[in-house]
Structure 1
Amino acid sequence: MSEFDDATALTAHSDGTYSATLSDDWSIGDAVNGGLLMSLAAKAVSDAAADHHPHPLTFSAVFLSPGAPGAATVAPTVLRTGRSMSTAEVVVSQDGTERLRALVTMGDVSAQAEPIRKQTPMPVFAPIEECIAADNAPPSLAQAGLLKRFDLLMDPETVGWAMGQPSGDGEMRAWIRFADGHEADPVALLTFLDALPPVAFDLGAQGWVPTIEFTGYVRAVPAPGPLAVRLRTSTVTGNLLEEDAEIWDSTGRLVAQSRQLASARFPA
């Protein structure tokens, strides 16, 4: 069993809820990664929804409080089941405090994957052998449990922020896969959409950058191999910015995309 399987393991209960354990191994600072919470929620919905609707197609969430290591309850409510899709609400909570509330649409992503009528082409990434490993990240990040779960290689053109020289372009690019070699599936793509350092760092932001709202789409089952992720932002007002993520698999196919609104702290 992979580290990701362990982290998203669920125990079903007769009342329709599930219990899980959030691990510090998936934390940044004191908070468990929001992407892991989303994958955990999607996995519970997949179990509760129709058998022929195994994959998250859309995931729209508000983050109400940071997840912490320890026991968690996942409560999905199936709102509608159709022939090709099911829709559910799901709440992740700890000790009665809601961490995440989301609406999820489930289906068979493979049934919607062809033909490709239009897709965003994969941009140019530096070759993997020229990229910078997360081991070389600033100590505050390199010691985070989350980064140890991934083989993360940053494109050197977008890593100046880690050396105190943010470009101001608001873009990051990286190759990523699970450190234990586990291949990503559609549920895991939700974690990968939120796995990179915040793009706000490339604008000089400091400290924690919490997600306020997230909307993600899974577009295909990824082919085996490393994933290419691009983060971008175009609008920053006050302390709020949007972060757009796109993921391509090893064949160059776009397999997931998202937009989130986040809050960042910038130097005065």
Structure 2
Amino acid sequence: MTTRGDGAVGVTLDAQWSIGTRLHGGYLLAVLARAARESAGAGHPHVTAVTGSFIGPPDPGEAMVRVETLRIGKSVAQTRASLIQQGRTCVEAHVTLGLLSDSDPWWSAHEPVDIPPEHECFRVPVEPPGLGVQVPLMGVLEEHIHPGHMGFAFGEPAQNGVIATWQRLADGSDWDPVSLLVTLDPGPPIASELGLMGWFPTISLSAYIRRLPAPGPVRVRLSATDVGGDRMDQSVSVWDSKDRLVGQASHLTGVRLPAGR
């Protein structure tokens, strides 16, 4: 990132973080969150919440982020960040920052998702069979899918509306509050498990980072509650290697339903 004379931050959007030709939504929010973190100052070092609207897909390459400080308080900093490319706003987000700890929750009713060990799960390749497009994202992100949630890959989706995965960064880096935003926009989309095909664009995504994650892979549970009216919700929960909930998200996505549905 480079700060420009007009106060905007210049960024280079990396094509590795793509699904097909589209840059990954969690990655784009991470770009905005990183710029917002720089503007919030040392007293608010961690992103704690992001609500993003996806207006139009940016292309890999040069872009800029414009950050507006809305409020700097004692424990919370609130900002608005916009990703702009060739004069067009592509993503806009409200980013909240503060100071996270690695302490255990005082109380939690959210048990970690039940998933077999990582080595017993299916690793998603850069060229998933039957998809017809490359997923460069899988070169920088290692994702292993629960074998019981793989029916969609063989034309036999269970239609339970749940996909569980392990995720880790391919370069061996540990997760942090910014990179966790990638896990909170997981693939494959839950529509695949419901037997739906096509592109499912994210319209709005709200993410929450609860605490600093412990080193190691995270477990991710993606689920749907309701599909209809050309809209689908997706809920995401992420647990770290100490079985602690470290992130949550809610998505609203577009979906094309089969005729007659």
TM > 0.5 fold call: yes
User: CA–CA distance in 2 between the matches of 1:240 and 1:18?
Assistant: 34
More displaced 10-residue stretch of structure 1: 131-140 or 204-213: 131-140
Q: Is 1:107 aligned to residue 103 of structure 2? A: no
Gaps of at least 5 residues in structure 1 are 1-9
| 1:19 equivalent among 10, 21, 25 | 10
Q: Tell me the C-alpha RMSD between the 2 structures.
A: 1.6
Change (3 A) 1:166 1:266: farther
Q: Is 1:133 aligned to residue 123 of structure 2? A: yes
**Deviations along 1:160-207, whole A, 9 cap, x unmatched?**
111111111111000010111111100001111113211111111212
Corresponding position of 1:147: 138
Shift of 1:115: 4.7
Shift of 1:142: 7.0
Gaps of at least 5 residues in structure 2 are none
Q: Is 1:230 aligned to residue 213 of structure 2? A: no
Corresponding position of 2:108: 118
**Deviations along 1:119-149, whole A, 9 cap, x unmatched?**
4111211121210111283253772111221
Change (3 A) 1:115 1:261: closer
2:105, 2:244 within 8 Å by CA — same for their partners in 1?
A: no
Corresponding position of 2:153: 162
1:230, 1:247 within 8 Å by CA — same for their partners in 2?
A: yes
Shift of 1:79: 0.6
Equivalent residue runs for 1:49-60 within 5 Å:
49-60=40-51
**Deviations along 1:235-265, whole A, 9 cap, x unmatched?**
0013211000000001110000000100123
**For this pair of structures, how many residues does the alignment match?**
258
Corresponding position of 1:203: 194
Change (3 A) 1:168 1:121: same
User: CA–CA distance in 1 between the matches of 2:252 and 2:21?
Assistant: 21
TM-score by length of 1: 0.92
Identity %: 36
Please identify which structure carries the higher helix content.
1
Residue type at the aligned position of 1:47: E
2:236, 2:248 within 8 Å by CA — same for their partners in 1?
A: yes
Q: Is 1:242 aligned to residue 242 of structure 2? A: no
1:33, 1:67 within 8 Å by CA — same for their partners in 2?
A: no
| 2:67 equivalent among 67, 72, 76 | 76
Corresponding position of 1:93: 84
Runs of 4 or more consecutive aligned structure 1 residues displaced over 6 Å after TM superposition: none
1:22, 1:72 within 8 Å by CA — same for their partners in 2?
A: yes
More displaced 10-residue stretch of structure 1: 85-94 or 122-131: 122-131
Change (3 A) 1:122 1:143: same
Corresponding position of 1:218: 209
Change (3 A) 1:230 1:142: farther
User: CA–CA distance in 2 between the matches of 1:190 and 1:46?
Assistant: 14
